[in-house]
Chain A
Amino acid sequence: MTKNSNRDIIVVKNLTKRYGSFTAVKGISFSVKEGELFGFLGPNGAGKSTSINMMCTVLSVTEGTAILNGHDITRDKARVREAIGIIFQDPSLDENLTALENLKLHCVMYKVDKSVRMQRIMEVLEMTELIDRKDSLVKTFSGGMKRRLEIARGLLHYPKILFLDEPTIGLDPQTRSHIWKYIMDIKERENITVFLTTHYMDEAEYCDRVAIMDHGELVVLDTPANLKNAVGGDVIRLRTEDDEMAVAEIGKRYGLAVTRDRDGISFSVASGEEFMAPFIKELPVKILSIGMSRPTLNDVFLKFTGRALRDEELSSTDQLRETMKRSRAGLRPFGRS
């Protein structure tokens, strides 16, 4: 991170979004340094996209504001728009135009100087390996190719800040790693500030700093390493014949705080290897399986929210909330996200 300056390129102050009585984003505040790779981590419906859409000026702000590259998102929309690039969660290409036409259109919209236009288009096409397909209609592209084209497009006007809203959602692992390679390359080469939302743990690991978001609030914000240290040592995870009794016993014998979820129980100790051997002998409940891991961001999430970070574990209220949010936004409630 040698290239990082100390300038705060994004300053968010009490950013709030309300839909009627439902508050999607509850007054979040934080700042991002220039050149940083910053991530919003959280389950679907946590308010990540809503926050990003407000910062990108496509969604109105209920309260508070954000300053991007020195411009206020509520007052100086045009200047903010010039400074940012965004890759939306949902596709936003014109499928009836060719790849080249989509890129040209973008250059025109952002007033990229005519003299450098073709050169930049070729550059991004080359980088995303789409140069052979530049004259094909976008509707003939695969999901991964469309995503790459969107990333190529987002970079054409050399934005100061690049927003990526779930950049690899629904893509196969190979395409995902490809796209990450491009993102890291660009960030290094152009010193672009990258702001990303994701619900994939491994993607959050790439970030310089991660903010965990849940139910419209920032739960915690730090570097992935610090967050993992905060979990405290190694995580021991086990399944027993009687989880309830095990939780009580561990609490009583070792004075440890135990988290219980569908997959069993887990807790963290300073040094897992030394702890485990006597523990297995001493626990009066029969152990079905036991394992130890260094903490991951999933454990961090678990610690700060009390839940595991998984799509399928959205509670019914979360799903309702999601549906409400979409129908208010005028989207079909059961369409793809």
Chain B
Amino acid sequence: MEQILYIWYRDVVKFVRDRTRLASSFVMPFMFLILFGNGMGGAIKSLMASGRVPAGLAGFDFVKFMFPGIIGMTVFNTAIFSALSIVQDREFGFMKEIMVSPVPRVHIVLGKTLGGATVALLQGLLMFLFVPFIGIKLNPGIVLRVIPAIFLVAFTISSIGILVASRLKTAQGFQMIIQLLVFPMLFLSGAYFPLNGMPGWMNIIVKLNPLTYAVDLFKKIILEYDKMPEVLRQAMGLNLQVGGHLVTAANEAGFIALFGAVMIVLAMWSFSTVEQ
């Protein structure tokens, strides 16, 4: 237990010490949320102003819509890239120190996953610094639900990263594979646009993408799906359906937890059987 804790602690301490990384982590979200979000939001507003808009849609604010997606993006990026440290440890030789010690491999994977998840949670929570500027109102109910939701997603994504990292020897190789994963998963998750009116093939991929349910879960919590008028739910693409069944927040959390469990077991197996 203490072994898992110290491996976790190592990642968290390094995150806190790395100020440059902390500062630069705001760049991408700022660009998406403030620059892209406001630009796109303005365009949508002017489009709506020219035609007949159903009542209730006046409340559609693209920047607000994007905010949960940006949380998703930040958590996803941070969690998946946290596994880079495994590859770097291997490159810089530190992994040998761990591998020659009597620590069970399973503990190493758990510690690393928890470390990556914690860092991604902290990073995701930092994004809430944007909240005062985009007009989202938070309440204790939202905060109490969003923290475990972010952690759950971060843990699952971390396990994916560690599964990939478990067999790779170079940082370049890891980054290449992760880049191949990151962009399609993000673009097809509903983080940047409402999941409405997609072509059939795209709809299928979106529904297969686990990140879709993570982003939708964040949207449902942060934008308060329960209190939303139906017309706005539709416009924001929040009525996600799989096989005719309307997906609930609880379904999504359950699915992500299950997916995470499978991933971490695979990561443990892969890490334990690989020749370091």
Using a CB–CB distance below 8 Å, which chain A residues touch chain B?
A: 56-60, 78-79, 81-82, 84, 86, 88, 90-97, 101, 104-106, 108-111, 153, 330
18 other A-B residue contacts (CB within 8 Å) besides A59-B275, A94-B89, A97-B14: A60-B275, A78-B102, A79-B102, A81-B102, A88-B97, A91-B93, A92-B94, A92-B97, A94-B10, A96-B17, A105-B6, A106-B97, A106-B101, A109-B3, A109-B6, A110-B101, A110-B102, A330-B170
Residues of A within 8 A of B2 (CB): 108
CB of B207 within 8 Å of the partner chain = no
Question: Binary interface profile of B, 80-100, with partner A (CB < 8 Å = 1, else 0)?
Answer: 000000000100111111111
The verdict on A330 contacting B169 (CB below 8 Å), with A97-B10, A108-B2, A108-B3 known, is: yes
The verdict on A58 contacting B99 (CB below 8 Å), with A88-B93, A92-B93, A330-B169 known, is: yes
The verdict on A94 contacting B94 (CB below 8 Å), with A81-B102, A82-B102, A105-B6 known, is: yes
B104 to chain A: closest residue by CB: A78
Closest 6 CB pairs of A and B: A109-B101, A330-B169, A92-B93, A81-B102, A92-B97, A108-B6
What are 27 A-B contacts defined by CB distance under 8 Å? A59-B275, A60-B275, A82-B102, A84-B100, A86-B100, A88-B93, A88-B96, A88-B97, A91-B93, A92-B94, A92-B97, A93-B93, A93-B94, A94-B10, A96-B14, A96-B17, A97-B14, A101-B10, A101-B13, A105-B6, A106-B97, A106-B101, A108-B3, A109-B97, A111-B3, A111-B102, A330-B169
Residues of A within 8 A of B169 (CB): 330
Residues of B within 8 A of A58 (CB): 96, 99-100, 276
Could you say which interface size class chain B belongs to?
A: 20 to 34
A93 to chain B: closest residue by CB: B94
CB of B262 within 8 Å of the partner chain = no
Q: How far is the CB of B171 from chain A (nearest CB, A)?
A: 12
Residues of A within 8 A of B170 (CB): 330
Using a CB–CB distance below 8 Å, which chain B residues touch chain A?
A: 2-3, 6, 10, 13-14, 17, 89, 92-104, 169-170, 275-276
Residues of A within 8 A of B103 (CB): 109
With A and B bound together, what is the CA distance between A86 and B3 in angstroms?
A: 19
The verdict on A109 contacting B92 (CB below 8 Å), with A59-B275, A60-B275, A97-B13 known, is: no
Residues of A within 8 A of B3 (CB): 108-109, 111
Contact call A92/B10, Cβ cutoff below 8 A = no
Which of B17, B93, B100, B275 is the one whose CB lies under 8 Å from A81? B100
With A and B bound together, what is the CA distance between A84 and B2 in angstroms?
A: 21
Residues of A within 8 A of B101 (CB): 81, 106, 109-110
Residues of B within 8 A of A59 (CB): 275
Contact call B93/A90, Cβ cutoff below 8 A = yes
Residues of A within 8 A of B98 (CB): 109
B89 to chain A: closest residue by CB: A94
With A and B bound together, what is the CA distance between A109 and B101 in angstroms?
A: 6
Residues of B within 8 A of A330 (CB): 169-170
Residues of A within 8 A of B97 (CB): 88, 92-93, 106, 109, 153
Residues of B within 8 A of A60 (CB): 275
With A and B bound together, what is the CA distance between A245 and B104 in angstroms?
A: 65
With A and B bound together, what is the CA distance between A106 and B100 in angstroms?
A: 11
Residues of A within 8 A of B96 (CB): 58, 88, 90, 92
Q: Of B10, B13, B170, B275, which is in contact with the most chain A CB atoms at under 10 Å from its CB?
A: B10
Residues of A within 8 A of B17 (CB): 96
A82 to chain B: closest residue by CB: B102
